[in-house]
Amino acid sequence: MVDSRERARLQWRGKLEFLFTSIGFTVGLGNIWRFPHRCYVNGGGAFLLPYAITLLLCAFPMLFLEMFLGQFASEGAISIWKICPLLNGVGWAIIFNSTLTNIYYSVIVMYSVYYTFVAFVNIGGPLPWQSVNNSAISDHCLNSATPEDYWNKIVLRVHDDIDTEKKDFDNLGAIVGRNSLCLLFVWLFVLYCCLRGIRSIARVTYATATFPVLFLLIMFVRGVTLDGYKEGLNYFFKPDWSKLSDMAIWSSAASQAMYSMGTGYGAHIVLASYNEFHNNTFRDGIILCIINTATSIFGGIIVFSFLGYASVKNNQPMSEIADNGPGMIFISYIQGISELPGSAFWAFLFFVMVFTLGVDSLFVLVWTIYASLEDIFPEKFFRWKKFILCSICLVHYLLCLPLVTEGGIHIVVLMDQYTSNLSLALFLLLEAITVCWIYGLKKFVADMELMVGKRFIWMQWYLRVTWLTTVPAFCLFLFFASAISYQPSSYSEQEVTSSGEAVGWLITITPILITLAFAVMHIFRHRTPGKSFKSLIREATVEGSRWEPRTPEDRVGTRYDDNIYIRPVTSNA
């Protein structure tokens, strides 16, 4: 059997490959869809303060921690837990959570593909939601043809004036054929790029990470020239201080901060594992933090400019004009695009942008799953790479099909809520505790200095303080606040059914059960007569013998040198 460390670890050809791939992962639909939506439903400006605080005191530090872990050991999201074998199950739980995220996230990307095709075939004419006389819509929408009607009645088919049967989690209805074909296109595209390897993904992200910037600039100019944009920006930036006493807002903001940075999904660990050992992680991390946060704020300005326009046009208050759920990106943006000359052409470019933003995050998450499993089963994965990648994408596609039924949007909203609060808080809490309190912060800082030297001393102190104190505090807060302020997921004021809520809690609890199950199995696997349970726990929390820099030359002259490093001895008592 081939040990994964006996084969040389693939490395990026240059620093830009890592940086652009990381930007492609962190800057995605979470910035222009999820962030504005979370901000809107939580009172606009009141959301920004807890969001910024969580970024500075939790999300940013955890980004650096995951990047340093991956770069130091050159391991994936599962095998990296040799730093604390007792918590090896956390890696498997992360892969489980990333798989669920891929399922609903790819459906959001699929919607952008559908709209792209619609805009393309209508270039030179009116878009379907602009024409009241369009028969394809009028039969369903009666006397209206708005972006919201088109989204709910044509794209989702969750609302239908002819078929009065209500669609919900217990009554999903039939699969929407057009959406299933668009979903197939998404997964075939992801598979094609992944089959060519991580370096191919990096080259794709050169385009997918830069094109959205140009189009967002165009959307920004259009947004701030619409009537009513000031009302939207006022709602976005002006906080209602009284709402800050609502724990649900803090919980939502903390969850979004971690989600937008992509921490807790294992992707940053995997991407950094392909870095050179002495790569300047501080520099790359700072760039990622700035670009990700700026994109979120920039996307928020654009969305709320359009929402302000819709508020004035429809003579409605800001708090009542947007549809809940994923529909915001497919309603509010479209309202602004529809006002542009040649709107079909601009809509086509916009949804190509949405597709590129979403699909590069999918690339990385799928590769994270593959690369993490490859480190555990190197021989089989090296031999059957193409077959395994095809199987991963096929399984994802099949699991996505219930989400493209007529009531599938209820599953999308449910999965978005239940995979991104308690689970992320648990993963990040265990990562911080492992590094700071089990492995030891001093040893980890020494590992950092092996890689990058003693540069960025101010950053090192910032990370030390936050890893030790604020990160565990925020993760614990998010964990308990999410439970205390819990509300069932809903779409268009229709709450999920009791069976759907049960599935949601199963999604939430499963990562915890996986973590506990692997911990119990590890303890029982290594038990010997005469050893106490306390001794077994102590031994299971000591880093494994293979926790060290991957290449021998990076271990020479350090405590990891075979002639210097001595494993700590634990008592059998």
Q: What is the mean pLDDT of residues 351-359?
A: 88
Question: pLDDT: is 467 or 245 the higher one?
Answer: 467
Predicted TM-score (pTM) of the model is: 0.89
Res 164: pLDDT: 52
Separation between Cα atoms, residue 281 and residue 272, nearest integer Å: 9
- pLDDT of 132 > 50? The answer is no
Predicted local confidence at residue 59, as pLDDT: 93
At 128 the pLDDT is 85
pLDDT exceeds cutoff 50 at 526: yes
Token pair recorded at residue 249: 């807002």
**pLDDT the model gives residue 224:** 86
Q: Is residue 163's pLDDT more than 60?
A: no
Q: Confidence class of residue 144 from pLDDT cuts 50, 70 and 90?
A: very low
Residues forming beta bridges with residue 168, ordered by sequence position: 171
Residue 569's pLDDT is 38
pLDDT tens sequence across 315-350:
878 777 665 566 677 777 777 677 777 888 888 988
Would you say residue 572 has pLDDT above 70? no
pLDDT, mean of residues 193-197: 83
pLDDT value at 486 more than 80 = no
Give CA–CA dist 509/328, Å, rounded: 29
What is the pLDDT of the chain when averaged over all its residues?
84
Amino acid at 117: F
The CA distance from 139 to 162, in Å, is 8
- Torsion-angle region of 84 (φ positive above 0: left; ψ -120 to 50: alpha; else: beta): beta
How confident is the model over 7-27, as pLDDT tens digits?
Answer: 567 788 888 888 888 988 998
Which of the four pLDDT bands, split at 50, 70 and 90, describes residue 160? low
Q: Reply yes or no on whether the pLDDT at 476 is more than 70.
A: yes
Tokens 């973590």 belong to: 515
Give the lowest-confidence range in 98-107, 366-375, 546-555. 546-555
Q: Reduced to 3 states, what is the DSSP secondary structure of residue 568? A: coil
Q: Is the pLDDT of residue 534 over 70?
A: yes
Nearest to 366 by CA among 561, 572, 103: 103
| Whether pLDDT at 139 is above 50 | no
Which of 527, 520, 494 shows the shortest CA–CA distance to 414? 494
Answer for the pair 482, 428: CB distance below 8 angstroms, yes or no.
no
